[in-house]
A and B are shown apart, each in its own frame.
Chain A
């Protein structure tokens, strides 16, 4: 496959590109209609068109991508019972196949796992669109990413050189970003943005208007990105060029920024330079974690407000009209956010009942004096209080914790609880102790008495090699039919079997309700 890829890129030929020649010729004719000394102002536009034409052809020649192999989830909520409640695969897994890296699984998932330069360049887009990790806790809205480039660009109304360079940079970053984005189908499933054509064939505009419109924009933007073949030749998962490239872009951005703010007062100049510097450090060092950048989000918001205020007083009619648009967009954002707030954010599954939950009923009952503390906890995690009481009956035994939120409820948890959410420790143990009995005995001999398991541990795994999912499989395999451990409590429900009519608590079997946690005791 790789050879095929190289052969195709070798065929890349600028002069053969009829589609590319047209805009270039057009652009040259346009440039010659201008006075010679103004030529340099339009140079970036020429470069842009050259680049597009080069890329259109490069894309024509690209080999089709191999589909990424998807690993089935271990315990996913909606899969059929046999997969949902793993009697885990019995075949022996070679532990050394499980490449462990807690940082890679836990932290770098916010950044994504695409080719290295794209990983950084796409961060502003990814952080806005939540393409790597989704959920309200990483959702920062669209306003900043949408409006800041526009406001920046409006300042180049009379500066074609800088304006053109800025537009090219934006297109480059955006097209690089969408390459690893996804398109949502009407049923909520995601497909890779590289499958735009397939998406457009299978999705009607009426079914998903925003998705189809975005897909057309993806197609339109695709010529502006660097071809994968070029990127793969100079980069990969590790490279020499990403830092120099990012620093180069920082310098370009800094130069553009100085041009944009030269007529501003000192306070705005300093503020914008400060924010620009902060953003760069966040981009390089924060691995895309949203809340590390709250300062830039907060200051970005008030600078937007300041821009609204200034444009509102502007004598330039374009700016005033633009301002109506900005305020309209911001109002739309506020409107959908307020509606979103009424669902309490936390409910990922959207149902009529979930949409009613401005408040949490259990907490409300506590506030009204109907529930006490234990009843409130049990309302969120059925029967867990009894199990926690058992764990807290004495404070010497150790607890092995794989995820879950029960740390808070365990006395002296900083001394008793071993955290192994990414299962790196377990992986080492599994390598060393070849069978589950021996491993259980070793843990018991060292004082471990309880195991807390988050049954959704694997769902955060976004690594291409699915390392966390594999480790979690291994861990479930350890728990499955292990004579040395006993389930105390879980909120997973299994379908009734035999003469039973009620679902039973259990982890392995025919799952009726997937649940989120299980607590085991060594015996």
Chain B
């Protein structure tokens, strides 16, 4: 009886919650209701729906069309994207009565601009993948092949390219004849894998799950439409968003102008990466596309995480990705506010994927050790040289090193990486011990953030009068809880400390070049100076103003 009443309350609560949030969101965002009233593209949507159904039938339902399988690949998807762009364009011009702007020549120019930029961006990805594969294959023994591995390769490759560009910029040789060879070099050094990548992403038929159905295809189709729309919209001569014009696209522009580093600012790894579009190809469109690329790569890695680690099927994966990419805040950063947050997201998701893989192997190694087997393969460094007594394995440290390096790279994109750094640190202890260890590390890490006054960055610290006491109570509580949790297994605890140290150490390595640059500028060793350097911008010093006035 009691349980029934409880369940009744629970169902009532759930219904109330759903209805209220929906209604409140709807009334707080009148723009949705307005835009439904003003919506004028019913015919475009119906045509898209028709295209969707037609292509679905051709691809998946009619067996006699199996011959068409030759376009069920990367190139086929690209052609579909081009078709969707043209379709949307014609409907737009028809709706705005501006079809007169079209001519044979202009359409050719339009398509060539899209294709050229796509090819340039593909080249950068190809190069990044080749670098990543070259490096990781050398130090890791891969047994998996799949989208997560490819994405981690690309992230690693981007990191390598960015740091090579950093050193070129440091010596004021950020020029096309330096950057282009940097991009082409790995394609030559790693030509076999580069060709493999080229084949896989263009003509190799896509692996499609037998469970893939119209629901999944609908989500994929909508995603492709959104991605295409976003891409074509950024192919302009300048960025249009506030933050991109004032900072994130401005920095690449300055890097291109100076052919060297820009003084001051927080580390700008992704802006440096964006600048390659200007430096290597003189193309603002490509520079902006690199910002857009962060979102696309994030979709790929999210797909990989869901498929490989959460074991979801493709239909729900594409559906979830579509719900994410539909978010206006994310969409806006994909075609208007071209910033670095989606690049940061990609880097952090790669770190998370490596962490999940580490966790998988940690589990597998435990099982293997229990069975006295020592042959687990995978995303591991020099194969796991696990010792039978269950002590530290060199193999799995490679994951931690890579996590550290990629996290450090992400830290060079934005300092908010620290949120995920500390949450992952706690996650490592959760895997080694249990939730109490997680809590202990997390509380201690949070306390450390308060002790170094990270809450002052957003100006919030001043509101908390008890913070001086709270931070130390938390720190002692966290450390105490951790010590109490690990007291019976000191070997594992030492391993945990070692892994945490490794993660932290390699986290700081990618930051060192930036810290050095900032130190050279500021000539100070304070935290602020190391993080921000010293800008060259004018300073309003009233005494100087007075002095100049009285000259």
Find out whether the CB atom of A415 lies under 8 angstroms from the CB atom of B101. Answer: no
Chain A CB within 8 A of B64 CB:
no
Find out whether the CB atom of B27 lies under 8 angstroms from the CB atom of A107. Answer: no
- B222 shortest CB reach to chain A, Å: 7
Number of residue pairs A-B, CB distance < 8 angstroms: 457
Chain A CB within 8 A of B68 CB:
no
B310 / chain A contacts, CB cutoff of 8 Å = 267-268, 271, 302-303, 306, 309
- B78 shortest CB reach to chain A, Å: 18
Q: Which residue of B lies closest to A398 (CB)?
A: B538
A211 / chain B contacts, CB cutoff of 8 Å = 27
- B272 shortest CB reach to chain A, Å: 15
Number of B positions contacting A (CB below 8 A):
159
Chain A CB within 8 A of B239 CB:
yes
Partner pick for B438 among A160, A174, A217, A273, CB 8 A cutoff: A273
Chain B CB within 8 A of A412 CB:
yes
With A294-B330, A305-B317, A340-B328 already in contact, the answer to whether A377 and B545 are too (CB < 8 A) is no
- Interface positions, chain B 1-37, Cβ under 8 Å from A, are 1-3, 5-7, 9-10, 13-14, 16-36
- Interface positions, chain A 299-334, Cβ under 8 Å from B, are 299, 301-306, 308-309, 312, 322, 325, 327, 329-330, 333-334
- B3 shortest CB reach to chain A, Å: 7
Chain B CB within 8 A of A292 CB:
yes
Chain B CB within 8 A of A89 CB:
no
- A465 shortest CB reach to chain B, Å: 16
| Top 4 A-B residue pairs of the complex, sorted by shortest distance between their CB atoms | A305-B320, A337-B326, A103-B459, A355-B38
How would residues 303 to 338 of chain B score, 1 for a CB under 8 Å from any chain A CB and 0 otherwise?
001100110110011011111101111111100110
Find out whether the CB atom of B328 lies under 8 angstroms from the CB atom of A241. Answer: no
Q: With A208-B27, A339-B35 given, name 16 new contacts (CB 8 A).
A: A146-B18, A238-B464, A258-B435, A271-B310, A284-B446, A285-B419, A291-B329, A298-B298, A305-B319, A342-B41, A359-B92, A369-B105, A428-B542, A441-B549, A442-B545, A443-B545
Chain A CB within 8 A of B302 CB:
yes
A301 / chain B contacts, CB cutoff of 8 Å = 302, 320-321, 323-324
Find out whether the CB atom of A419 lies under 8 angstroms from the CB atom of B537. Answer: yes
With A271-B356, A413-B254 already in contact, the answer to whether A141 and B328 are too (CB < 8 A) is yes
- B313 shortest CB reach to chain A, Å: 6
Find out whether the CB atom of B470 lies under 8 angstroms from the CB atom of A142. Answer: no
Partner pick for B331 among A111, A280, A341, A354, CB 8 A cutoff: A341
How would residues 230 to 248 of chain B score, 1 for a CB under 8 Å from any chain A CB and 0 otherwise?
0011011111101011100
With A137-B332, A339-B35, A367-B109 already in contact, the answer to whether A356 and B18 are too (CB < 8 A) is no
A170 vs B320: C-alpha distance when bound (angstroms): 25
Chain A CB within 8 A of B359 CB:
yes
Find out whether the CB atom of A103 lies under 8 angstroms from the CB atom of B458. Answer: yes
- Interface positions, chain A 274-302, Cβ under 8 Å from B, are 274-275, 277-278, 280-282, 284-287, 289-292, 294-295, 297-299, 301-302
Find out whether the CB atom of B27 lies under 8 angstroms from the CB atom of A299. Answer: no
A171 vs B146: C-alpha distance when bound (angstroms): 44
Q: Which residue of A lies closest to B544 (CB)?
A: A446
With A274-B427, A291-B329, A359-B233 already in contact, the answer to whether A139 and B460 are too (CB < 8 A) is no
Find out whether the CB atom of B449 lies under 8 angstroms from the CB atom of A285. Answer: yes
Find out whether the CB atom of A238 lies under 8 angstroms from the CB atom of B462. Answer: yes
Chain A CB within 8 A of B454 CB:
yes
Contact stretch, chosen from B341-349, B382-390, B494-502 = B341-349
A266 vs B339: C-alpha distance when bound (angstroms): 35
19 A–B contacts from the bound complex (CB under 8 Å): A41-B6, A129-B28, A146-B17, A149-B17, A158-B3, A181-B24, A210-B23, A281-B418, A301-B324, A302-B312, A304-B323, A305-B321, A333-B326, A334-B323, A336-B36, A363-B235, A370-B106, A429-B540, A446-B549
A150 vs B246: C-alpha distance when bound (angstroms): 41
- Interface positions, chain A 40-60, Cβ under 8 Å from B, are 41-42, 45
B509 / chain A contacts, CB cutoff of 8 Å = none
A221 / chain B contacts, CB cutoff of 8 Å = 20
Find out whether the CB atom of A338 lies under 8 angstroms from the CB atom of B424. Answer: no
Find out whether the CB atom of B540 lies under 8 angstroms from the CB atom of A139. Answer: no
- B223 shortest CB reach to chain A, Å: 10
Partner pick for B460 among A285, A305, A358, CB 8 A cutoff: A285
Find out whether the CB atom of B20 lies under 8 angstroms from the CB atom of A340. Answer: no
- B366 shortest CB reach to chain A, Å: 10
B360 / chain A contacts, CB cutoff of 8 Å = 267
Number of A positions contacting B (CB below 8 A):
172
Partner pick for B345 among A101, A290, A294, A366, CB 8 A cutoff: A294
A368 / chain B contacts, CB cutoff of 8 Å = 101-102, 106-107, 109-110
A303 vs B356: C-alpha distance when bound (angstroms): 14
A17 / chain B contacts, CB cutoff of 8 Å = none
Q: Which residue of A lies closest to B415 (CB)?
A: A292
A136 / chain B contacts, CB cutoff of 8 Å = 328-329, 331-332
Find out whether the CB atom of B427 lies under 8 angstroms from the CB atom of A270. Answer: yes
A95 vs B310: C-alpha distance when bound (angstroms): 59
- A182 shortest CB reach to chain B, Å: 7
B524 / chain A contacts, CB cutoff of 8 Å = none
Find out whether the CB atom of B235 lies under 8 angstroms from the CB atom of A367. Answer: yes
Chain B CB within 8 A of A130 CB:
yes
How would residues 347 to 376 of chain B score, 1 for a CB under 8 Å from any chain A CB and 0 otherwise?
011001001100110010000000000000
- B268 shortest CB reach to chain A, Å: 12
Find out whether the CB atom of B236 lies under 8 angstroms from the CB atom of A367. Answer: yes
A308 / chain B contacts, CB cutoff of 8 Å = 316, 319-320
Interface centre among B91, B107, B537 (most CB of A within 10 A): B537
Q: Which residue of A lies closest to B21 (CB)?
A: A146
Q: Which residue of B lies closest to A330 (CB)?
A: B323
Q: Which residue of B lies closest to A438 (CB)?
A: B549
- B531 shortest CB reach to chain A, Å: 15
A339 / chain B contacts, CB cutoff of 8 Å = 32, 35-36, 39
Partner pick for B312 among A217, A305, A343, A355, CB 8 A cutoff: A305
A417 / chain B contacts, CB cutoff of 8 Å = 537-538
Find out whether the CB atom of A363 lies under 8 angstroms from the CB atom of B95. Answer: no
A398 vs B538: C-alpha distance when bound (angstroms): 8
Chain A CB within 8 A of B89 CB:
yes
Find out whether the CB atom of A153 lies under 8 angstroms from the CB atom of B39. Answer: no
- Interface positions, chain B 32-55, Cβ under 8 Å from A, are 32-36, 38-41, 44-45
Q: Which residue of A lies closest to B349 (CB)?
A: A298
Find out whether the CB atom of A442 lies under 8 angstroms from the CB atom of B6. Answer: no
Chain A CB within 8 A of B286 CB:
no
Chain B CB within 8 A of A502 CB:
no
A232 / chain B contacts, CB cutoff of 8 Å = none
B36 / chain A contacts, CB cutoff of 8 Å = 336, 339
